[in-house]
Amino acid sequence: MTEPRPRRSVRRTLPERKRIALIAHDGKKAELLEWAARWRETLTDHELIGTGTTARRVADTLELPVTGLMSGPLGGDQQIGALITEQQLDLLIFFWDPFAPQPHDPDVKALLRLAALWNIPVACNAASADFLISSPWLTQAYEMAIPDAGAWVASRAGE
């Protein structure tokens, strides 16, 4: 009988220079920009990736390079999820709005599920983002366990 989920038996090392995704729902964009401005000097040392308007506004406001993807409702959340799955993202800062229903709520849930599955640090508000961005691990290599997806797929193929 195969296991219902892959074991976390593979090691992944996050690099010293992190790849950080910045996402904010419309009602939280101003808060994310304020937060990012406070941490601009720290963010300068890392690679920034963002969805839609958030990426453009962070790049314009902070005058930092931000790789822009599609907006969340147009597939940007899935693009971020793909980066997580491919181990091309190291940290997720996602200021989501608990007061506004989002037309792409299933996409948001899928993105957070992938972050949990692949053991990616996630901050959903300014306080948790402060804790993550001020962690000594931000500028150091960090080894963590991730799912052994290859072994899991191979075990399921034999069913």
Which residue spans within the chain are E strands per DSSP? 10-14, 19-24, 47-51, 66-69, 91-95, 122-123, 142-146
Rounded to two decimals, what is the model's pTM? 0.90
> Which residues pair with residue 12 across a beta bridge?
144
Percent of the chain residues topping a pLDDT of 70? 94
90 is catalytic: no
> Do the annotations mark residue 25 as ligand-binding?
yes
- Does 50 belong to an annotated binding site? no
How confident is residue 60, by pLDDT bands cut at 50, 70 and 90? very high
Q: Which residue has the higher pLDDT, 45 or 4?
A: 45
Residue of 77, 90, 97, 130 marked active site = 77
Going by pLDDT thresholds of 50, 70 and 90, the confidence category of residue 7 is: confident
